[in-house]
Amino acid sequence: MILKMENVIKRFNDNLALDYLSLEVEKGEVIGLLGPNGAGKTTCIKSIIGLLPIDEGEISVFDLKQDGKNKKIRSQIGFVTQEITIYDDMTARENLAFFGSLYGLKKQELENRINEVSKIIGLEERINDRPSQFSGGMKRRLNIGCSILHRPKLLIMDEPTVGIDPQSRNYILDFVKKTASEGTTVIYTSHYIEEVEAIASRVYIMDQGHVIASGTLQELIGRITGDSHILVDVAIASEVQKEELLAMPDIKEVIIKENQYHIIVPGGVSIIDKIVAVLAPLRIVNVNSKQPNLEDVFLTLTGKQLRDGVE
């Protein structure tokens, strides 16, 4: 067991950020941590690292109690922050050397590891250039490199692909799968559900400070396989029609995403004609149905869209 959180509570004045949160992570897993804005993901991560003290409950990392003071725990964790935390006035090599020294790597060991990591992140040919000359994706890769120099047992990646090109995103996802196959445990948060679908061995979905569902991708999807998912594109979506649809007894959920209605109904219920009748005044562009995926699970359980956290 790499990580265990038991009934963890964290308050910020009157705000309950973590509400009896419990989760477990085993060696070599890639854990996808999903939740709308304000669900408590960042608080959870900072509590695991020891940057935030908890009010109640218990956190153990590597079978050691996390009290925020245990240097042995912190020395074995790598943290890739959402904000790029590298220095533009230092070369990529100097950045790696600086962060490696913070983890206690010295001289030849540090030099060897810089050479290894520069290849892992695909920057060996740009190692002597400054990040100010890099693309956003290259900066993200350097940011990751700075977090893995010390060969962490647990790598926590908080939104590591924000604002980068598809090629760099694929590079990072391939890196996560490879590093996990070599025994490193990864906790990965993202606003892109398709990323989590591609790499996670298990998923935790958080909302309002606690875990509302967890399991493998197949297990989570299995929870809603009895439902049908109908997608209706219209010229201009309206909340009025959404309320009309929700008032129908056979409709379980309606989510508007741009000008598309995502309508969830029990399996076997024939209701397309009624849906079309309600949405016809909005000029229907397309009607489609699809098999459920992780995004459907998330929408069903939270009623929210992951990217913006609103209903």
Number of structural domains (the chain) is: 2
Co-location of 273 and 133 in the same domain: no
Domain containing 121 — which CATH number? 3.40.50.300
**pTM for this structure?**
0.80
Whether the per-residue pLDDT at 105 is higher than 70: the answer is: yes
Tell how far CA 159 is from the center of its chain.
6
CB 266 within 8 A of CB 232: no
- In sequence order, the 6+-apart residues with CB closer than 8 A to the CB of 311 are 255, 303, 304
Closest CA to 217 of 142, 145, 296: 296
Cα dihedral 98, 142, 38, 251, rounded to 10, equals -160
Weakest mean pLDDT among 151-165, 169-183, 261-275? 261-275
Residue 279 belongs to domain spanning: 227-290
Question: Which of 220, 240, 263 is the endpoint of a domain?
Answer: 220
pLDDT recorded at residue 238? 94
pLDDT recorded at residue 309? 45
pLDDT of 127-149, one tens digit each? 999 999 999 999 999 999 999 99
User: In the 3-class helix/strand/coil scheme, how is 49-100 assigned residue by residue?
Assistant: HCCCCCCEEEEEECCEECCCCCHHHHCCEEEECCCCCCCCCCCHHHHHHHHH
Residue 305 lies inside a defined structural domain of this protein: no
